[in-house]
Amino acid sequence: MSADSQATAQAAAEAVTITLGSTIPLQAYLAVAALLFCTGVWGLINSRNAVRVLMSIELMLNAVNLNLMAFSDFLDGQLIRGQVFAIFVITVAAAEAAVGLAILLSLYRNRETVDMERFNLLRW
């Protein structure tokens, strides 16, 4: 009796999970990630402060992560390989931020500015 009701409750919970999993479409997450990525690209091109360029790169990496997580949840629900990839992306992003800011500090010490337009030593 009690086991039977427990089984039905579990089945109901699974049905609720199934229906709840598709309330927000995959395309909505992809659209948010696309908007975030394009904002990051625009900031990367147009920022004159070098710190803001690094922030734009972080925005783009976050957009990629959101795509990975959305695909992992909607298309690869059992083997969540997208989440593992997102963890690796987070790791690489942390390393990139550390090295990027160290390069920025070194540049600032040499050129006394963070203006991207004046970092033109290699320009021909």
Partner 1 sequence: MTIASTIQQLCFLTLSAVVVLGALGVVLLPNIVYSAFLLGGVFLGMAGLYLLLNASFVAAAQILVYVGAVNVLILFAIMLVNKKENLAAIPGLLLRRLLSGGVCAGLFVLLLRVAFTTHWALPGPLPVGEEATIRIGEHLFSDYLLPFELASVLLLMAMIGAIVLARRDVYSSDVITGEPVDQGLIEKTRTPLLINPSGSAGAANAPSLLETTP
Nearest approach in angstroms of CB 1 to partner 1 is: 26
- Which residue, 7 or 49, is less far from partner 1 as judged by CB? 49
Which backbone phi and psi does 65 adopt, to 5 degrees?
A: -65, -40
Q: Report DSSP state, residue 118.
A: G
Nearest approach in angstroms of CB 13 to partner 1 is: 7
Distances (CA, A) of 82 to 14, 48, 86: 23, 34, 6
87 contacts partner 1 (rule: CB under 8 A)? yes
94 contacts partner 1 (rule: CB under 8 A)? yes
84 contacts partner 1 (rule: CB under 8 A)? yes
What is the Cβ-side half-sphere exposure of residue 66, based on CA atoms within 13 angstroms? Answer: 18
Nearest approach in angstroms of CB 24 to partner 1 is: 5
Among 78, 120, 123, 124, binds partner 1 (CB under 8 A): 78
Which residues in 15-54 contact partner 1 (CB under 8 A)? 16-24, 26-32, 34-43, 45-52, 54
Give the tokens for residue 112: 């006394």
Residues in the chain: 124
122 contacts partner 1 (rule: CB under 8 A)? no
The residues with which 49 forms a beta bridge, in sequence order, are 115
